[in-house]
Amino acid sequence: MLNQGLGSWPARRARRTPESVAVIYGDDSYTYAQLAAHSHGVARFLVEQGIHHGDRVAFLGPNQPGFLTTLFGAGQVGAVFVPLNTRLADAELGFLLDDSGATLLVYDSRYGENAHALAADRPGLRTVDVADFDALTASEPVRKPVVLDDVALILYTSGTTGRPKGALLTHGNLTWNSVNVVIDIDLCGTDVALLSAPLFHTAALGMACLPTLLKGGTVVLENKFDVERSFDLIERHRITFLAGVPTMFEALARSPRWPGANLSSLRFLLCGGAPLTAELIERYQARNLPLMQGYGLTEAAPSVLMQSPGDGVEHAGAAGAPAFFTDVRLRTPDGRPAAVDEPGELEVFGPNVVSEYWRRPDVSPLNEDGWLCTGDVAVVDEIGDYRIIDRLKDMFISGGENVYPAEVEAALRDHPGVVDVAVIGMPDPVWGEVGKALVVAEPGLTADELRNFARAHLGKYKIPKVVVFVDGLPRNPTGKVDKQALRRREGAPDRTPEVPAART
């Protein structure tokens, strides 16, 4: 049986456009023939290391070609790729390694100290510097049977229970999602995508990187987002496709270089993570740049809704129409379809939707009908344009990163001086939202001490920006903290949905 999964992509593309540039990283570039050869070499290395079908291979590092060759190499042998968020604390990374059961950790040297410390506590975990992969090439792939239903990735999403869940994305999920993107924004083999957002997030990987490579375009990989460098790269490489979060597009539009920068090559600007403002859309429209809003989630690989390139400022805040091979519906609490302009929970169905979480048989992302329950409340207008109006989840988004208060609260409660704590999201002009912790504490505990404690357990973006000590927290009749009352008291956005979740 042939390999039908992601691992076969470089070779399939190389037999059609071998000399086309697949990846640009700094001053280096790699053709599709070279990407295929390096991926084949990594696959053979994995076999020599005893990596078999279904084994988990973790990756810790920023955007770079080694991320892709590890992904495709693992896909060739049927192994499961586990990208790790470099912004997490070692304790969080350790949980992901333990939960996934990864047997090999590929790391960037900038995270070598972290990798070695993690491996020292896990005798069964082997490590390898991704730089060692640079010299690995092979003319032929490793020929292992891989089908579209096989798991390609475990992408971890933090949950309201305070522990991350691993979404099992199959090769089919990722393939169909890429097809959705290629169709919905009409990607071409001549497109050049600038990827500054981290590939360990489903948005950068699923909405920009994989679709561009599927179509035979070029991806320009950056370790991090930098305004000045972004302008330089757009002009130098004639970037056509830019994907990111609102804070990135805001930073570009408010740069002194914005009025005079040559942005004529840009065809698609895709934004997700938070709603776009009318003012930002207008700034881009003034330069004839189509800034499109999208909506998705890890469990959908991630494409669910997307605006069309021609949508204007009148669509500000809207998430668009369903992706081509994806269906959505809105359900009221009693299970009936929501009417036009009537709020309902957004549910998703399609070949890009995952069916289970890793080692969590007790929790299913799907309801009894096989639809993904997003936990988000939306309305749809008479022309089929969807708008997300609230979150059933307690999550808030800070700088494009999902922050789950339950996870932050669980970490803060581990401090011996914390008696009780509640975390809410507060508006912030830079990050969109930031965390505010309301803490009932023993005498003597300071905000700085608590934040310093949190740094050992949480990624920097999860640490509450504001810590306020209170005498008590409001509770509802069942004894749970009344977040609604707390938000009203603190002047935070009201996250209580107009309809409760219709979940199984």
Residue 105 within a domain: yes
Which residue would you say has higher pLDDT here, 362 or 31?
31
438 part of a folded domain = yes
CA–CA distance, 343 with 380 (Å, rounded to integer): 8
Distance CA 287, CA 132 (A): 44
Following DSSP, what letter does each residue of 4-66 receive, concatenated? -SGGGHHHHHHTT-TTSEEEEETTEEEEHHHHHHHHHHHHHHHHHTT--TT-EEEEESSSSHH
Least confident span in 93-102, 179-188, 394-403 = 394-403
Give 251-294 pLDDT, tens digit per residue. 999 999 999 999 999 999 999 877 777 788 889 999 999 899 99
Say if 422 falls within a structural domain.
Answer: yes
Round to whole Å and give the CA distance between 119 and 128: 11
Strands 28-31 and 21-25: antiparallel
Looking at the domain assignment, is residue 60 inside a domain? yes
CA dist 327 and 321 (Å) reads: 10
Total of domains in the chain: 2
What pLDDT does residue 308 have? Answer: 81
Pairing of strands 151-157, 126-129: unpaired
Measured CA distances, 278 to 287, 305, 383 (Å): 15, 19, 20
Check residue 112 and give its pLDDT.
98
- Within 8 A by CB and 6+ apart from 267, the residues are 191, 240, 241, 290, 309
pLDDT, tens digit (0-9, with 9 covering 90-100), for 46-102:
999 999 999 999 999 999 999 999 999 999 999 999 999 999 999 999 999 999 999
For residue range 354-396, list pLDDT tens digits in order. 999 999 999 999 999 999 999 888 889 998 999 887 666 677 8
147, 178, 193: which is the final residue of a domain?
147
The DSSP call for residue 317 is T
Query: Which position has the token pair 């404690």?
Result: 453
Q: Are strands 56-60 and 104-107 parallel, antiparallel or unpaired?
A: parallel
Token pair 């040559």 is found at 262
Within a domain: residue 441?
Answer: yes
Checking if the pLDDT of 501 tops 50, the result is no
**pLDDT above 50 (res 160):** no
The CATH code of the domain that includes 101 is 3.40.50.12780
Structure tokens at 375: 């936990």
Q: Is the pLDDT of residue 161 over 50?
A: no
In whole angstroms, give the CA distance from residue 287 to residue 278: 15
User: Mean pLDDT in the chain?
Assistant: 91
Q: Identify the top-confidence range among 142-146, 333-337, 495-499.
A: 142-146
94, 114, 147 - which closes a domain: 147
202 touches 298 (CB < 8 A): yes
Torsion 24-30-32-37 (CA) sign: negative
In a domain, 414, yes or no: yes
Kindly indicate the confidence band of residue 450, based on its pLDDT and cuts at 50, 70 and 90. very high
Cis omega before residue 302 (within 30°)? yes
Check residue 414 and give its pLDDT. Answer: 85
Q: What is the dihedral of CA 366, 369, 375, 378, to 10 degrees?
A: 140
Q: Would you say residue 350 has pLDDT above 50?
A: yes
In terms of residue numbers, what domain contains 454? 396-473
As beta bridge partners, residue 337 has 331
Give the pLDDT band (50/70/90) at residue 500.
very low
CATH assignment of the domain containing 466: 3.30.300.30
Last residue of a domain, one of 147, 170, 202: 147
Establish if 46 belongs to a structural domain: yes
Is residue 4 in a domain? yes
